[in-house]
């Protein structure tokens, strides 16, 4: 879980129940998945952008995984393997050009989301293109980037 994740209520029992039942729980983004996956990653996973087009990308900042063999072997192992494979997560030396994902650009492979893209491709493929069943409800968590929280009070002299 990314440090910027905030729960909308203190009760996380729904999340725990869903993870125990389904094995996996994530937050999805509002962007078309194939927009943020480079062709080298598509080649690595033996898929095509047009097959991913109907699906939203996942957010790797909030992922909850049940510790079980299926999730380990079918989701986490391929995710790590992609990270270590040449030109899967890391698409090459020009990677900085792929960071900006301007909203005015449309189409396939506009930019790259690195580990986030890999997770999305794995989940969509693994769960027979029904990864939306594993998505956390929008009212459960949200992200607050650049939000500063003072965890420790200032020291008194």
Question: Which one, of 13, 11, 45, 31, lies nearest residue 101 by Cα?
Answer: 31
18 within some domain: yes
156 within some domain: no
Profile the chain (157 residues) by mean pLDDT over runs of 10 residues: 65 77 73 81 90 79 80 89 88 74 76 83 74 53 62 62
What DSSP string runs through 84-119? HSTTSSS--TTGGGGS---TT--SSSSS--THHHHH
Residue 45, pLDDT score = 92
153 within some domain: no
155 within some domain: no
Report how far residue 7's alpha carbon sits from residue 27's, in angstroms, rounded to the nearest whole number: 12
125 within some domain: yes
Report how far residue 107's alpha carbon sits from residue 51's, in angstroms, rounded to the nearest whole number: 13
**Residue 5 φ/ψ, nearest 5 degrees:** -75, 135
152 within some domain: no
Count the domains in the chain.
1
Residue 130, pLDDT score = 53
Residue 144, pLDDT score = 60
150 within some domain: no
138 within some domain: yes
Q: Which domain holds residue 69?
A: 5-143
């Amino acid at each position: 879980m990314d440090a910027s994740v905030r729960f909308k209520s203190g009760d996380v029992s729904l999340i725990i129940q869903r993870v125990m039942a389904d094995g996996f729980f994530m937050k999805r983004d509002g962007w078309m998945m194939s927009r943020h996956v480079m062709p080298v990653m598509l080649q690595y996973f033996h898929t095509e952008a047009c097959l991913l087009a109907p699906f939203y990308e996942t957010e790797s900042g909030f992922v909850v995984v049940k510790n079980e063999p299926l999730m380990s072997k079918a989701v986490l192992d391929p995710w790590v393997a992609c990270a270590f494979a040449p030109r899967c997560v890391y698409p090459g030396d020009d990677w900085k050009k792929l960071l900006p994902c301007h909203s005015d650009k449309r189409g396939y492979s506009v930019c790259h989301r690195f580990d986030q893209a890999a997770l999305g491709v794995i989940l969509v493929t693994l769960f027979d293109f029904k990864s939306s069943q594993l998505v956390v409800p929008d009212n459960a968590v949200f992200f607050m980037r650049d939000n500063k929280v003072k965890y420790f009070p200032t020291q008194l002299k």
